[in-house]
Each structure stands twice: as C-alpha cells, then as structure tokens.
C-alpha cells in the first residue's frame, strides 16, 4: 500500500481533526502518501482532493469540527454514484480510504470495499450511538460542553427557585443525556430507551424534594425522547406548581476544543485504521471495547446491539433526592 485517502462524512464531531491528524502522521510514518478528500463522498465523486503532509495538519489537534469539511451525499446512495467515487479513487491512485463518520458513512465505506477499494471506518459522532463501540470520537467533549451549560443553568434555577428542563442532543439515543444527567446531579433524566412516568419519576420527586427543603430542580431530556419538552414542562408545572423553564442546548454541544479523552481516542483509532490499510486489510470499523482498540468487519459491526447503561439509569434515580 503506497497511497491512502481520508475523508469525514455525516455529522461533524469534536476530535475529527485530531483523528485526521493521526491518520496523516501515521501514514507518513509508514512511508505512505496521504490525500485528504473534502466534503465527504461528494469530494470523492468530484475529485475534491488535497495532498497532505505533516505540516498540513499542524495546529488542528485542538480544534473542533473538521478542516476537510463534511457533507451528506445523496449520489453515493446509488450504485452509479459509488462507481464514480471508485473511479475517482482509482484516478487519484488510492490503495485505501479512511472514512471518519457514523453508520451511514460506514455503509458507504462497506460498498466501496465490495467494489475493491479497501476502506476502514473510524466512529465520529457526539451521540455515541454507533453500536459496535463503547466510545465514538466527540462524545466526551459533547458531554463536557453540555455539563458546563447545565451547571450554568443550575445557578439561575437556584436563584429563581425554578425547575430547569434541558434538552440535550443524542439523536435516537440517550447516552449523552444519561452521562450529563448523572454528572450534573439531575433530579431526572428522560431517555428514548426507557419510558418514564412523569408523575412518578419527576413530579413526586419534586414534591418530596420540596418537603425536605429543596428549591430548584434539573431535568435532562434527550432530544429523542418520545414527548415534546414543552409539553413535559407544562405537565410538571401544572402538577407541582413549580415554575419551569425549557432550554434546548442544540449545536453548541457539537463545537469546541476536544477533550483529552477524545484526542487520545482519535490518535489510537487513527493509527489503527492506517495500520490495517497498510497491511492490505479493508472493510473494517475501528472500535473501543473494554478500553482497548479493536476492529470489526463493517457489516458485523453495524448489526451489533448496544443498550443504554441501565445500571447507571438506576444509580441516577437512586441518588437524585
């Protein structure tokens, strides 16, 4: 293997730049040429490529987002588009491709592998909803950003003796909400994986808290929870007579400088991805299992199951008083 490419695809996450840097620097260390493909699979189809050297990835390790840009690409969903992508990869002289993204991006990578272009996926998403891996790049940073915001909201909830309902991201998964809820000392966390009883799990807790002198409450709601946050807020207000305030954190959770954890995972995953391609191994996804870097066949990886940490849900309930 002499020349490989790297692209970021789907939603961005903090630490993608650190992963690109690790891919570029390890490739160079293994004496391979490395090309950055801009704007995901669009760039692959259009030949939007830049030759990268060690200095091209200087000063990006601490930056959120992805300097290669990311995009969604409808054309790549059909065989004609993928054929064009393959032809461009061949024209660029690529012997392999690293795809940093989520499940959708990995499906695309799998199909490129089937066409004969070895690909390795690196999980990058703040939602941590990629089932084959305990951690995806960006998750820890997003948790910390959301936590800081919740701590700030707690100050004002305390001063005004309110109940603060805070919506965090996570798509259809509650991993982010649960981590943030536990770390922020929330009264309750609502996640899509579990149906909660607003009366029993929140209103009762608020009344109990009030009788023991508690004056303010934090409730974390995952964006994928079945009910609208405004409706939940209204219900809590009617049932407990406490003033409620809704805050939707939104995309601030996706930006900012990556944490130590995200940078280190990015380095470990980036290195492994290049090492696989160097050995001519493709159709893999790099993952973290029991804190070790592992890799799986793409299809097997996408068919795995991952559930929310139910023990942590119980702990959260038990210590919220």
Q: Report the DSSP pairing between strands 96-101 and 3-8.
A: parallel
**Nearest to ligand ADP of 125, 259 (CB atom):** 125
Least distance in angstroms from the C-beta of 178 to ligand ADP = 21
Residue 127: active-site member: yes
Least distance in angstroms from the C-beta of 16 to ligand ADP = 11
- CA 222 to chain centroid, in Å, comes to 14
Written as six digits, the tokens of 122 are 């690196």
Cβ-proximal residue to ligand ADP, closest one: 104
Does residue number 105 form part of the binding site for ligand ADP (CB under 6 A)?
Answer: yes
Least distance in angstroms from the C-beta of 120 to ligand ADP = 14
**Restricting to residues 187-206, which ones interact with ligand ADP according to CB under 6 A?**
none
- Distance between CA 58 and CA 69 in Å, rounded? 16
- CA 67 to chain centroid, in Å, comes to 17
Determine which residue in the list 30, 46, 104, 261 makes contact with ligand ADP, applying CB under 6 A. Answer: 104
Report the first-to-last Cα separation within the chain, whole angstroms.
58
Distances (CA, A) of 236 to 70, 204, 246: 40, 10, 12
**Nearest to ligand ADP of 72, 245 (CB atom):** 72
- Distance between CA 181 and CA 320 in Å, rounded? 10
Determine which residue in the list 102, 118, 174, 209 makes contact with ligand ADP, applying CB under 6 A. Answer: 102
Q: Report the DSSP pairing between strands 244-248 and 292-297.
A: unpaired
**Restricting to residues 15-44, which ones interact with ligand ADP according to CB under 6 A?**
41
Least distance in angstroms from the C-beta of 72 to ligand ADP = 3
Query: Pick the catalytic residue: 127, 129, 140, 262?
Result: 127
Phi, psi of 246 (to 5 degrees): -100, 135
Q: Closest by alpha carbon to 139, among 106, 173, 175, 188?
A: 175
**x/- track of binding to ligand ADP for residues 106-145 (CB under 6 A):** -xx--x-------------x--------------------
Binding part of the chain for ligand ADP, among 47-55, 99-107, 145-153, 313-321 by CB under 6 A, reads: 99-107
- Token look-up 């993928």 returns 82
Written as six digits, the tokens of 207 are 């009344």
- The residues of the shown chain that bind ligand ADP, judged by CB under 6 A, are 9-11, 41, 72-73, 76-77, 101-105, 107-108, 111, 125
Active site residues: 127
């Amino acid at each position: 293997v002499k020349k490989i490419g790297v692209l970021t695809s789907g939603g961005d996450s903090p630490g993608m730049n650190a992963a690109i840097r690790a891919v570029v620097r390890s490739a160079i260390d293994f004496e391979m040429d490395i090309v950055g493909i801009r704007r995901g699979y669009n760039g692959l189809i259009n030949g939007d490529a830049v030759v990268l050297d060690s200095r091209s990835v200087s000063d990006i390790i601490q930056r959120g987002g992805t300097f290669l840009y990311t995009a969604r690409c409808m054309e790549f969903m059909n065989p004609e588009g993928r054929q064009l992508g393959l032809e461009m990869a061949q024209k660029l002289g690529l012997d392999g491709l690293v795809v940093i993204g989520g499940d959708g991006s990995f499906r695309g990578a799998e199909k490129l592998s089937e066409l004969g272009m070895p690909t390795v996926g690196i999980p990058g998403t703040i939602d941590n909803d990629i089932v084959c891996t305990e951690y995806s790049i960006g998750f820890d940073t997003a948790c910390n950003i959301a936590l800081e915001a919740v701590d700030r909201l707690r100050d004002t909830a305390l001063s005004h003796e309110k109940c603060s309902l805070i919506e965090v991201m996570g798509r259809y998964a509650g991993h982010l909400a649960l981590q943030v809820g536990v770390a922020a000392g929330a009264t309750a966390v609502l996640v899509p994986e579990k149906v909660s009883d607003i009366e029993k799990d929140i209103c009762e807790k608020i009344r109990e808290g009030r009788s023991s002198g508690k004056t303010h409450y934090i409730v974390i709601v995952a964006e994928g929870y079945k009910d609208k946050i405004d409706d939940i807020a209204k219900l809590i207000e009617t049932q407990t007579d406490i003033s409620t305030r809704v805050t939707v954190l939104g995309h601030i959770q996706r930006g900012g400088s990556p944490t130590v954890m995200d940078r280190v995972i990015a380095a470990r995953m980036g290195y492994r991805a290049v090492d696989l391609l160097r050995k001519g191994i493709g159709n893999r996804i790099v993952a973290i299992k029991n804190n070790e870097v592992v890799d799986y066949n793409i299809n097997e990886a996408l068919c795995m199951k991952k559930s929310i940490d139910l023990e942590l849900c119980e702990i959260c309930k038990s210590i919220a008083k």
